[in-house]
């Protein structure tokens, strides 16, 4: 993503983020054919993220509809993933209790009590919830373990992550990001809305509104 393109989008995104509670994004997947569209909006006293991802999974078409509800401080309340990966149907529901306990399809999953955020591994959408919640100032960094949904495996696992806000203004700008379990490190380009615009080798934004 070129500097000219980033500069052209920065001001309109900042205006939209400050004047409307609803923001939508469209990404193109880079490692396999696919797209993802989502919408972030107010939901009572909290926030709701809803979207759909369509992509190729192990050579077969896949479609996953997803949603996450957060409280006003961006802490995950619950979420769902429904759809199909090839011939396999997917129906997963996650929830986080006030005491920090996580459940997958009503079954308690141990080892996640200090995780505040859910993360769907098949979409870049859920990063916005994490980035808005931690609200890092430029120069700051944070370890952000998440409850990571493996849709293909039907599992909820702990995923260690780290964000470092390298430059920018507000929640937007450049972030150093790492997820050691996947041997992944990159510099993310994040818009003023908090949505990732460039997720190197995985996703790139094509439209926002």
**The two three-digit tokens of residue 163, written as one number:** 């964000």
Q: What angle do CA 208, 193, 73 make, to 5 degrees?
A: 135
* Domain limits, the chain: 3-208
Summarised one tens digit per residue, pLDDT across range 98-149 is 999 999 999 999 999 999 999 999 999 999 999 999 999 999 999 999 999 9
- Residue-by-residue DSSP string for 28-67: EESSSSEEEEEEEEEETTEEEEEEEEEEEETTEEEEEEEE
The count of C-alpha atoms lying within 13 angstroms of the C-alpha of 165, restricted to the half-sphere facing its C-beta, is 22
- CA 34 to mean position of chain CA atoms: 16
pTM of the full structure: 0.88
Tell me what percent of the residues of the chain surpass a pLDDT of 90: 90
């Amino acid at each position: 993503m070129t500097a000219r393109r980033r500069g052209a989008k920065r001001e309109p995104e900042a205006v939209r983020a400050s004047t409307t509670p609803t923001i939508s994004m469209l990404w193109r997947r880079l490692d396999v054919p696919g797209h993802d569209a989502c919408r972030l909006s107010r939901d009572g006293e909290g926030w709701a993220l809803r979207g759909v991802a369509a992509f190729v999974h192990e050579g077969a078409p896949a479609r996953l509809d997803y949603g996450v509800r957060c409280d006003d401080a961006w802490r995950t309340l619950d979420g769902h993933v429904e759809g199909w990966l090839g011939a396999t149907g997917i129906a997963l529901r996650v929830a986080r209790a006030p005491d920090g306990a996580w459940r997958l399809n009503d079954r308690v999953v141990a080892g996640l009590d200090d995780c505040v955020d859910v993360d769907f591994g098949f979409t870049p959408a859920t990063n916005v919830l994490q980035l808005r919640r931690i609200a890092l100032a430029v120069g700051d960094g944070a370890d952000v373990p998440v409850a990571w949904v493996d849709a293909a495996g039907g599992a909820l696992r702990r995923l260690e992550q780290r964000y470092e806000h390298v430059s920018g203004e507000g929640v937007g700008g450049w972030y150093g990001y790492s997820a050691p379990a996947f041997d992944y490190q990159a510099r993310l380009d994040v818009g003023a809305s908090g949505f990732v615009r460039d997720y190197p080798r995985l996703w790139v934004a094509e439209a926002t509104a």
